[in-house]
Amino acid sequence: MSQHGHSNDHAHEHKSHKKEYIVIFVILALLTAIEIWVAELKALSTFAKGSSLTFLAVGKAFIVAYYYMHLKEETKWMKLIAAVPIMAGVYATVLCLEATFKPF
């Protein structure tokens, strides 16, 4: 037994996530730079800009939830529960885009 009352056989090592977090941070920074670049493009239509920026934002939200909020370590049920707001956001975006471009 260790001084904390735990057997050494059952001690859990804490895995450092530092390298993984740095990689994810760099990916998120690159996606943010792409978002800024897309927003400034004059050649893209409003629809293309909106669609691209929405896709990038949903992708970033997924990455944050999956890695920083540790969804990758959760059960399938918890992952589904977390995905519902994202799906609702995508659906709301589609409805807004449809309403914007629907002929009168």
Go through 57-73 and write b for each residue having 16 or more CB atoms within 10 A of its CB, e for each that does not.
eeeeeeeebbbeeebee
State pLDDT tens for residues 3-57.
555 545 445 566 777 898 899 999 999 999 999 999 999 998 888 888 888 889 8
Q: What is the pLDDT of residues 33-44, one digit of tens each?
A: 999 999 999 998
